[in-house]
Amino acid sequence: MSADKKYTDSAIEIKTLYTEADLPGDPGKPGEFPFTRGIQPDGYRSKHWTMRQYAGFSTAEESNLRYHYLISQGVTGLSVAFDLPTQIGYDSDHPMAEGEVGKVGVAIDSLEDMEALFSGISLERVSTSMTINATGFILLALYVALAKKQGADLGRINGTIQNDILKEYAARGTYIYPPQPSMRIITDIFEWCSVNLPKWNTISISGYHMREAGCTAVQEIAFTLANGKAYVKAALEKGLDPDVFGKRLSFFFNAHNNLFEEAAKFRAARKMWAQIMKEFGATDQKAMMLRFHAQTGGSTLTARQPLNNIVRVSMQSLAAVLGGTQSLHTNGYDEALNLPTEEAAAIALRTQQIIAFESGAADTVDPLAGSYFVESLTAALEEEAWQLIRQIDELGGSIAAIEQGFIQQEIAQSAYTYQQKVEEGEKIIVGVNRFTHEESNRAPGFKIDDAVRQLQTEKLVALRSRRDKEACNQALQQIIESVQQQQNLMPAVINAVECYCTLGEISDALRTVLGEYHPSV
């Protein structure tokens, strides 16, 4: 690339000057198909985005204290992080869990842990997002079982499970079962929730983790929407109505550093998804709306000069708001070093509140609309993303593209190219490869004690000694039979968690009939 030229992070050339001649056409009105300018006609004037903080660590009891603190500080939605054993279907006392219990999220082994996690919190009054995929159906069952114990009206329960297994194969790695059985579980969730949990977002189709793995903004749009197409096809093959399940599909995007490219990315993705759903036969406009949660870029946080991350998070949050997000999580400035401290979490939340109440960014709908630069950039991102989606379609769709390693290779190449630019100084990272100085102190640490595993093990021993063993065995057998008889899994899994079967036991029961996925290199 020529040194005298400027490019976005997706290698889209930026001209020195944009004029009316660069406008691609009328972007339409907010609240109207294809929703380029947003899904609400009045933007944030009647309601701000849901302000979430991603939290979960150690035991359920410890995380519960953080949740109460966040709620007291003005959080309007909880976002639960789970530890790795929970994510990949192992109880805390399993050998594979050693060294990981409670480390990157909260350990949840049973309904008892779920009860402790939300102690003193009414599930009818809080929106909960759970970042969980391979075991998402079990965590949803636990949440439903807890709501029933609270006497809640399931028709009023709202929230989201990520439940996006395709990006796990492509970028993140917390999968258990092979792709086809995993897709069957996901469509079972679509089907069950449409009847029993109508306000629940049954999937959060995620570009976030692929962006964290190194893909560009163009690739984030294309890979996310291509995965979305795969889920819609699977639901249609199950006989589900796109005007019903389409309303409960949601998305999860990254908010990176390039302010204008990121805002344009959200606008382009919204327009493209509306067109995709229309082609799939949706006629209800709400089923064509791309509703999304955004999180600021974890991979952009630097361990050097960590206070600079407050500025990065502010800029990324503004991009998400200018792009019309429905929900936002802001990272703590210290997360390149450790789990966020209470102080860092508070600053991250205050960042959202300052943007909402002081910046003026929320006062009018899609304030960047009509900008020669932003409209041109929106169109360029859309065009390049469509080209990539067409490549994936030619390979047979997302599942085939993942099985062939296409998406993984594209992400790996982009990550390598980006890092090469950083190493060579072409890409400037303030405080890392430019404007550095010797640091006298670092951010305060927040580490999880390895004793958490022993605490969880003791709770599991006590639980197994007092529960009805025969009822548990029957419940686990019922799960296996549901798979074999092609029945919807959710009723059997809910019954199992209500019998206090553990997450690991339920995962293992399914391993016996579905097998485990081992990717070819």
Model pLDDT for residues 409-464, shown as the tens digit of each residue: 999 999 999 999 999 999 999 999 999 988 765 666 766 677 899 999 999 999 99
Q: Give how far the C-alpha of residue 173 lies from the chain's centroid of Cα atoms, to the nearest Å.
A: 14
C-alpha dihedral, 39 to 33 to 229 to 7, nearest 10°: -80
Q: Report the pLDDT value the prediction gives residue 271, as an integer from 0 to 100.
A: 98
> Per mean pLDDT, which range of 4-8, 220-224, 318-322 is the poorest?
4-8
> Per mean pLDDT, which range of 141-145, 170-174, 259-263 is the poorest?
170-174
Q: Report the pLDDT value the prediction gives residue 446, as an integer from 0 to 100.
A: 63
Is pLDDT above 90 for 340? Answer: no
**218 touches 283 (CB < 8 A):** no
Given pLDDT bands bounded at 50, 70 and 90, which one contains residue 79? confident
Q: Report the pLDDT value the prediction gives residue 443, as an integer from 0 to 100.
A: 63
Given pLDDT bands bounded at 50, 70 and 90, which one contains residue 478? very high
- Angstrom distances, CA of residue 215 to CA of 9, 63, 170, 311, 417: 10, 32, 11, 23, 10
Q: Count CB-CB contacts under 10 A for residue 395.
A: 17
**Dihedrals phi, psi of 229, to nearest 5 degrees:** -60, -40
Average pLDDT over residues 265-274: 98
Q: Report the pLDDT value the prediction gives residue 521, as an integer from 0 to 100.
A: 58
**Dihedrals phi, psi of 338, to nearest 5 degrees:** -170, 180
Mean pLDDT for the chain overall: 95
**Residue 220: left (phi > 0), alpha (psi -120 to 50), or beta?**
alpha
- Percent pLDDT > 90 in the chain is 90
Question: What is the C-alpha to C-alpha distance for residues 61 and 13, in angstroms, rounded to an integer?
Answer: 51
Element at 199 (helix H, strand E): none
Q: How far apart are the first and last CA of the chain?
A: 32
Question: What is the C-alpha to C-alpha distance for residues 314 and 521, in angstroms, rounded to an integer?
Answer: 39
- Angstrom distances, CA of residue 113 to CA of 59, 91, 501: 8, 12, 12
Q: Report the pLDDT value the prediction gives residue 2, as an integer from 0 to 100.
A: 55
Q: Count CB-CB contacts under 10 A for residue 440.
A: 5
> Best-predicted range by mean pLDDT among 338-347, 383-392, 438-447?
383-392
- Strand-strand pairing, 203-206 and 200-201: unpaired
Average pLDDT over residues 466-478: 98
**159 touches 200 (CB < 8 A):** yes
As given in the structure block, the two tokens for residue 183 are 């897709």
Given pLDDT bands bounded at 50, 70 and 90, which one contains residue 54? confident
State the alpha helices, DSSP H only, in 197-298: 208-212, 217-237, 242-245, 259-279
Element at 201 (helix H, strand E): strand 200-201
As given in the structure block, the two tokens for residue 391 are 């490549």
**Residue that has been written with the tokens 């974890």 in this structure:** 298
**Residue 102: left (phi > 0), alpha (psi -120 to 50), or beta?**
left
> What are residue 7's DSSP bridge partners?
13
Given pLDDT bands bounded at 50, 70 and 90, which one contains residue 306? very high
Q: Report the pLDDT value the prediction gives residue 442, as an integer from 0 to 100.
A: 65
Average pLDDT over residues 41-61: 91
Instruction: Report cis status (omega within 30 of 0) of the bond before 519.
Output: no
Average pLDDT over residues 90-115: 96
3-state secondary structure 29-49: CCCCCCCCCCCCCCCCCCCCC
As given in the structure block, the two tokens for residue 452 are 């958490």
Given pLDDT bands bounded at 50, 70 and 90, which one contains residue 57? confident
Q: For residue 365, how many C-alpha atoms fall within 13 Å in the half-sphere facing its CB?
A: 18
**Residue that has been written with the tokens 């019954």 in this structure:** 495
> What are residue 424's DSSP bridge partners?
none
Element at 470 (helix H, strand E): helix 469-484
- 423, 395, 422: which is closest to 408 by C-alpha? 395
> What are residue 54's DSSP bridge partners?
79
Please return the burial class of 2, using the count of CB atoms within 10 Å of its CB with bins 0-12, 13-18 and 19+: exposed
